[in-house]
Homo-oligomer: A and B are copies of this chain.
């Protein structure tokens, strides 16, 4: 399968923007530069005139099946909201997770996300969604609790790994997920890390999201969350640390040496009143920072362009400086830096020959995107998810002119409403 993308503004994220062509063979980018149509044959030619061609976005922290909670009890304080939500989660069946994941999957493809990193339960249903829609995913079953509860979840994590890791031509990967330091006693964290050791996977964990967490761990263990996790051996693994809101200078001394990095979820952190992550400072110390949406409920949208905007607005606002974080910086966090945090940067996150063809094409010939001065600015500050015209993952066109392939969108819209009516 050979696909030619003609004449777009190619925003590779690793070299200067230029108007040129991209040739895809099967799942890979094989050429970036002028491709003559005269002496070659292609299975598909996409005209990207007046469009931006850029890497698919990496949503590095999600709970996609939480779409079912979008707009549910938004105006509650976090702990009250969690309690309401847990009641519903207890009633959720596998099929519910499938449809709830499906709505998020469609939403991600329609707003330019090609890779997501998920932490929840019944993850095999989320895997089925990613398989069907053609998304790239890292999936983890959240280990939480203690005793038998913990053992069951560790076993489910291992089963998920054996059923799904490296399936769909390697598009789906499985890692170990630990819910959070404040919901898992040390033994649970240790058992999870033993599993990561056995399987050789990264670890995905909520980390320093709220002040409560800092206080809880200090009160019980008399140490900082970072020291506590370090002593348990977490940082010997590739770690995907979701949130990192309450990271301080001492924590950064440890974090700057880890493999992996922080996932910044600006909307979720604001909307839940969790605080503001010191993103600029962390990046200056050499810590990789990805962007994520968190689950709906935290944020209410999977549109990564919203997170890109917020990531830069927040640093500019907090630091009182219009130059605190550039458009390009924020776009990097949503692409190549996100891929680094997930350990996927040899495959995705930039447009380079030899990398996977995870590509989005954005129509910039629209009133809200005119005139054209600076394409990075347009992408970071003016584009929204609805401007994504075409989404390609692993060389496959999974959305063309806003039509998502491989699924009957209307059927899913109806099903998810039925699931909601059943659960709530």
Contact = CB atoms under 8 A, between A and B. Distances in A.
Given A270-B317, A370-B70, A385-B368, A323 B419 contact: no
B71 A373 contact: yes
B412 A367 contact: yes
A234 to B, nearest CB: 27
Interface stretch (A116-124, A296-304, A334-342): A296-304
A48 interface: no
A80 to B, nearest CB: 9
A409 B322 contact: no
Given A320-B273, A320-B275, A371 B78 contact: no
Interface residues of A, number: 74
A78 B382 contact: no
Residue from the set A269, A327, A367, A377 with the largest chain B CB neighbour count within 10 Å: A367
A235 interface: no
B270 A314 contact: yes
Contact of A313 (B69, B72, B267): B267
A213 to B, nearest CB: 14
- In the complex, the count of this chain's copies comes to 2
Given A71-B377, A374-B72, A77 B273 contact: no
B110 A368 contact: yes
A90 interface: no
Contact of A322 (B71, B78, B370, B375): B78
Majority-rule SS of A interface residues: helix
Contacts of A324: 273
A406 interface: no
Given A276-B317, A320-B273, A368-B302, A74 B412 contact: no
A95 interface: no
A381 B74 contact: yes
Given A322-B81, A417-B372, A382 B273 contact: no
Contacts of A68: 371
Interface of A: 67-78, 81, 103, 106-107, 110-111, 267, 269-276, 299-303, 306, 309-310, 312-314, 316-317, 319-324, 326-327, 365-368, 370-375, 377-378, 381-382, 384-387, 409, 412-413, 416-417, 419-420, 424
Given A371-B416, A371-B417, A373-B424, 4 more contacts: A71-B377, A73-B373, A75-B327, A301-B382
9 closest Cβ pairs, A-B complex: A270-B317, A71-B377, A300-B381, A386-B386, A371-B420, A270-B313, A71-B373, A106-B367, A72-B373
10 contacts: A70-B373, A71-B378, A72-B374, A78-B322, A107-B367, A107-B368, A271-B317, A273-B324, A299-B381, A371-B420
